[in-house]
Amino acid sequence: MTVLITGATRGIGLALAQCAADRGDQVIATYRGSLPSQSREIDWHMLDVTDPQAHRQLSDRLAAKPLSLLVCNAGVYLEKGHQLERDYRAQDWAETFAVNVTGVFLTIQSFLPQVRAGKGKIAIISSQMGSDNTASGGSYIYRASKAAVLNLGRNLAVDLRSEGIPVGIYHPGWVQTDMGGHYAQITPQEAAQGLMQRFSVLSVKTTGCFECWDGRTHPF
Protein backbone atom coordinates (compact mmCIF):
# COMPACT_ATOMS: atom_id res chain seq x y z
CA MET A 1 0.00 0.00 0.00
CA THR A 2 1.17 3.52 -0.77
CA VAL A 3 -0.52 6.19 1.31
CA LEU A 4 -0.32 9.98 0.97
CA ILE A 5 -1.38 12.05 4.01
CA THR A 6 -1.55 15.86 4.07
CA GLY A 7 -0.78 17.92 7.17
CA ALA A 8 1.15 15.14 8.85
CA THR A 9 3.59 17.12 11.02
CA ARG A 10 1.58 16.66 14.22
CA GLY A 11 -1.71 15.54 15.69
CA ILE A 12 -3.92 13.10 13.79
CA GLY A 13 -1.92 13.37 10.54
CA LEU A 14 1.33 12.35 12.24
CA ALA A 15 -0.39 9.48 14.08
CA LEU A 16 -1.92 8.27 10.80
CA ALA A 17 1.49 8.39 9.11
CA GLN A 18 3.11 6.43 11.95
CA CYS A 19 0.26 3.92 12.06
CA ALA A 20 0.55 3.30 8.31
CA ALA A 21 4.35 3.02 8.50
CA ASP A 22 4.08 0.56 11.41
CA ARG A 23 1.89 -1.78 9.37
CA GLY A 24 4.38 -1.67 6.51
CA ASP A 25 2.78 0.81 4.14
CA GLN A 26 4.90 3.11 2.03
CA VAL A 27 4.01 6.51 3.51
CA ILE A 28 4.25 9.83 1.70
CA ALA A 29 3.49 12.65 4.13
CA THR A 30 3.33 16.39 3.63
CA TYR A 31 4.45 19.30 5.78
CA ARG A 32 4.35 23.05 5.27
CA GLY A 33 6.73 24.34 7.98
CA SER A 34 9.27 22.27 9.83
CA LEU A 35 9.47 18.48 9.92
CA PRO A 36 8.62 16.59 13.13
CA SER A 37 11.54 14.99 14.96
CA GLN A 38 10.16 11.44 14.76
CA SER A 39 9.81 10.90 11.04
CA ARG A 40 11.18 7.41 10.53
CA GLU A 41 10.29 5.48 7.39
CA ILE A 42 8.22 8.35 6.05
CA ASP A 43 8.86 10.07 2.72
CA TRP A 44 8.30 13.79 3.46
CA HIS A 45 7.39 16.45 0.90
CA MET A 46 6.59 20.12 1.43
CA LEU A 47 3.02 21.17 0.57
CA ASP A 48 0.93 24.12 1.65
CA VAL A 49 -2.49 22.80 0.63
CA THR A 50 -3.72 26.32 -0.21
CA ASP A 51 -1.03 26.78 -2.91
CA PRO A 52 -2.04 25.52 -6.39
CA GLN A 53 1.51 25.78 -7.72
CA ALA A 54 2.87 23.68 -4.85
CA HIS A 55 0.22 21.06 -5.65
CA ARG A 56 1.25 20.99 -9.31
CA GLN A 57 4.94 20.65 -8.43
CA LEU A 58 4.38 17.83 -5.94
CA SER A 59 2.00 16.00 -8.26
CA ASP A 60 4.64 16.18 -11.03
CA ARG A 61 7.32 14.91 -8.63
CA LEU A 62 5.10 11.98 -7.61
CA ALA A 63 3.77 11.31 -11.12
CA ALA A 64 5.11 7.74 -11.11
CA LYS A 65 3.71 6.85 -7.66
CA PRO A 66 0.35 5.07 -7.82
CA LEU A 67 -1.57 5.72 -4.58
CA SER A 68 -3.67 3.16 -2.70
CA LEU A 69 -4.99 5.80 -0.31
CA LEU A 70 -5.09 9.60 -0.30
CA VAL A 71 -5.92 11.13 3.10
CA CYS A 72 -6.94 14.81 3.12
CA ASN A 73 -6.20 15.61 6.75
CA ALA A 74 -4.67 19.13 6.86
CA GLY A 75 -7.00 21.53 8.60
CA VAL A 76 -7.24 24.65 10.75
CA TYR A 77 -9.55 25.89 13.48
CA LEU A 78 -8.79 29.60 13.86
CA GLU A 79 -11.73 30.90 15.87
CA LYS A 80 -11.29 29.67 19.43
CA GLY A 81 -12.94 32.15 21.78
CA HIS A 82 -14.49 34.24 18.99
CA GLN A 83 -17.50 36.35 19.96
CA LEU A 84 -20.34 36.63 17.42
CA GLU A 85 -20.57 40.42 17.39
CA ARG A 86 -16.91 41.25 17.99
CA ASP A 87 -14.84 38.77 16.00
CA TYR A 88 -15.33 36.65 12.86
CA ARG A 89 -13.32 38.74 10.40
CA ALA A 90 -13.76 38.09 6.66
CA GLN A 91 -10.09 37.11 6.61
CA ASP A 92 -10.76 34.30 9.14
CA TRP A 93 -13.44 32.92 6.81
CA ALA A 94 -11.13 33.14 3.78
CA GLU A 95 -8.15 31.50 5.54
CA THR A 96 -10.21 28.66 7.01
CA PHE A 97 -11.97 27.86 3.74
CA ALA A 98 -8.66 28.04 1.84
CA VAL A 99 -7.27 25.19 3.96
CA ASN A 100 -10.31 23.14 4.97
CA VAL A 101 -12.24 23.24 1.70
CA THR A 102 -10.19 24.53 -1.25
CA GLY A 103 -7.13 22.74 0.15
CA VAL A 104 -8.98 19.41 0.13
CA PHE A 105 -10.30 20.00 -3.39
CA LEU A 106 -6.85 20.94 -4.73
CA THR A 107 -5.33 17.87 -3.06
CA ILE A 108 -7.83 15.52 -4.69
CA GLN A 109 -7.64 17.30 -8.05
CA SER A 110 -3.82 17.16 -8.04
CA PHE A 111 -3.41 13.53 -7.01
CA LEU A 112 -6.37 11.99 -8.84
CA PRO A 113 -4.05 10.62 -11.58
CA GLN A 114 -2.01 8.77 -8.94
CA VAL A 115 -5.19 7.51 -7.20
CA ARG A 116 -6.50 6.28 -10.58
CA ALA A 117 -3.17 4.58 -11.32
CA GLY A 118 -3.22 2.85 -7.91
CA LYS A 119 -6.95 1.97 -8.05
CA GLY A 120 -6.93 3.80 -4.74
CA LYS A 121 -9.35 5.33 -2.23
CA ILE A 122 -9.88 8.88 -0.97
CA ALA A 123 -10.46 9.77 2.69
CA ILE A 124 -11.51 13.26 3.77
CA ILE A 125 -11.15 14.23 7.43
CA SER A 126 -14.19 16.39 8.17
CA SER A 127 -15.71 16.62 11.66
CA GLN A 128 -18.93 16.02 13.57
CA MET A 129 -19.01 19.83 13.63
CA GLY A 130 -19.83 19.73 9.89
CA SER A 131 -23.09 17.91 10.55
CA ASP A 132 -26.35 19.90 10.41
CA ASN A 133 -27.85 17.20 12.58
CA THR A 134 -25.60 17.86 15.55
CA ALA A 135 -25.49 21.68 15.25
CA SER A 136 -24.93 23.07 18.73
CA GLY A 137 -24.01 26.66 17.91
CA GLY A 138 -20.76 28.64 17.79
CA SER A 139 -17.57 28.00 15.77
CA TYR A 140 -19.44 29.21 12.70
CA ILE A 141 -16.49 29.29 10.33
CA TYR A 142 -15.04 25.91 11.23
CA ARG A 143 -18.49 24.28 11.22
CA ALA A 144 -19.32 25.77 7.80
CA SER A 145 -15.97 24.66 6.37
CA LYS A 146 -16.41 21.09 7.62
CA ALA A 147 -19.99 21.02 6.29
CA ALA A 148 -18.67 22.22 2.92
CA VAL A 149 -16.00 19.54 2.76
CA LEU A 150 -18.56 16.89 3.74
CA ASN A 151 -20.69 18.08 0.82
CA LEU A 152 -17.63 18.07 -1.46
CA GLY A 153 -16.86 14.48 -0.50
CA ARG A 154 -20.45 13.34 -1.06
CA ASN A 155 -20.46 14.80 -4.58
CA LEU A 156 -17.00 13.49 -5.49
CA ALA A 157 -18.20 10.06 -4.34
CA VAL A 158 -20.97 10.24 -6.96
CA ASP A 159 -18.63 11.35 -9.73
CA LEU A 160 -15.82 8.87 -8.99
CA ARG A 161 -18.00 5.85 -8.30
CA SER A 162 -18.08 4.75 -11.96
CA GLU A 163 -14.27 4.68 -11.92
CA GLY A 164 -14.26 2.45 -8.85
CA ILE A 165 -12.70 5.14 -6.65
CA PRO A 166 -14.45 5.29 -3.26
CA VAL A 167 -14.57 8.52 -1.25
CA GLY A 168 -15.19 8.41 2.51
CA ILE A 169 -15.74 11.31 4.88
CA TYR A 170 -14.74 10.92 8.52
CA HIS A 171 -15.13 12.36 12.01
CA PRO A 172 -11.86 11.44 13.75
CA GLY A 173 -13.28 11.78 17.28
CA TRP A 174 -12.50 14.55 19.75
CA VAL A 175 -8.75 14.08 19.76
CA GLN A 176 -5.95 15.28 22.07
CA THR A 177 -4.05 17.45 19.59
CA ASP A 178 -3.14 21.14 19.38
CA MET A 179 -6.57 21.61 17.79
CA GLY A 180 -8.59 19.33 20.07
CA GLY A 181 -6.89 20.38 23.32
CA HIS A 182 -5.77 18.43 26.40
CA TYR A 183 -9.30 17.60 27.58
CA ALA A 184 -10.28 15.78 24.38
CA GLN A 185 -11.57 12.22 24.65
CA ILE A 186 -9.09 10.10 22.72
CA THR A 187 -5.40 10.07 21.80
CA PRO A 188 -4.17 10.67 18.25
CA GLN A 189 -3.05 7.02 18.17
CA GLU A 190 -6.57 5.78 19.04
CA ALA A 191 -8.05 8.05 16.37
CA ALA A 192 -5.48 6.92 13.79
CA GLN A 193 -6.00 3.20 14.47
CA GLY A 194 -9.77 3.58 14.22
CA LEU A 195 -9.55 5.67 11.05
CA MET A 196 -7.14 3.26 9.36
CA GLN A 197 -9.60 0.46 10.07
CA ARG A 198 -12.42 2.52 8.52
CA PHE A 199 -10.29 3.32 5.44
CA SER A 200 -9.52 -0.39 4.99
CA VAL A 201 -13.24 -1.25 4.64
CA LEU A 202 -14.14 1.74 2.44
CA SER A 203 -15.41 0.49 -0.93
CA VAL A 204 -17.61 1.58 -3.83
CA LYS A 205 -20.49 0.01 -1.89
CA THR A 206 -19.93 2.40 1.02
CA THR A 207 -18.67 5.40 -0.98
CA GLY A 208 -20.04 8.72 0.27
CA CYS A 209 -20.18 7.41 3.85
CA PHE A 210 -19.82 9.80 6.81
CA GLU A 211 -18.35 7.73 9.61
CA CYS A 212 -16.77 8.20 13.03
CA TRP A 213 -13.34 6.85 13.88
CA ASP A 214 -14.93 3.98 15.86
CA GLY A 215 -17.14 2.80 13.01
CA ARG A 216 -20.39 4.51 13.97
CA THR A 217 -22.27 6.06 11.04
CA HIS A 218 -22.53 9.81 11.60
CA PRO A 219 -25.80 11.58 10.76
CA PHE A 220 -25.43 14.18 8.02
Ligand X SMILES: NC(=O)c1ccc[n+]([C@@H]2O[C@H](COP(=O)([O-])OP(=O)(O)OC[C@H]3O[C@@H](n4cnc5c(N)ncnc54)[C@H](OP(=O)(O)O)[C@@H]3O)[C@@H](O)[C@H]2O)c1
- Pick the binder of ligand X from 97, 174, 210, 213 (CB under 6 A): 174
Of 98 and 117, nearer to ligand X (C-beta) is: 98
Residues 6+ apart with CB under 8 A from 89: none
- Interaction with ligand X in 114-153: which residues (CB under 6 A)? 125, 127
Q: Minimal distance in Å, beta carbon 115 to ligand X?
A: 19
Angstrom distances, CA of residue 78 to CA of 45, 105, 152, 190, 216: 25, 20, 21, 24, 28
Q: Does 177 bind ligand X (CB under 6 A)?
A: yes
Residue type, 154: R
> Residues 192-211 vs ligand X: string with x where CB under 6 A?
--------------------
- CA-wise closest residue to 16 among 32, 26, 5, 1: 5
- CA-wise closest residue to 209 among 114, 120, 198, 174: 198
- Interaction with ligand X in 24-43: which residues (CB under 6 A)? 32-33
Of 129 and 157, nearer to ligand X (C-beta) is: 129
Of 139 and 206, nearer to ligand X (C-beta) is: 139
Q: Minimal distance in Å, beta carbon 124 to ligand X?
A: 9
Counting residues that bind ligand X (by CB under 6 A) gives: 30
Angstrom distances, CA of residue 95 to CA of 7, 51, 53, 185, 190: 16, 12, 17, 27, 29
Q: Minimal distance in Å, beta carbon 22 to ligand X?
A: 18
- Pick the binder of ligand X from 99, 108, 148, 152 (CB under 6 A): 99
Say which DSSP state 16 is in: H
Quick one: residue 100, left, alpha or beta (phi over 0 = left, psi -120 to 50 = alpha)? alpha
Give the Cα separation of 125 and 77 in Å (integer). 13
Residue pair 75/99 in contact by the 8 Å Cβ criterion: yes
- Pick the binder of ligand X from 4, 20, 42, 74 (CB under 6 A): 74
Of 95 and 204, nearer to ligand X (C-beta) is: 95
| Chain contacts with ligand X (rule: CB under 6 A) | 6-7, 9-13, 32-33, 47-50, 73-76, 99, 103, 125, 127, 171-172, 174-175, 177-180, 184
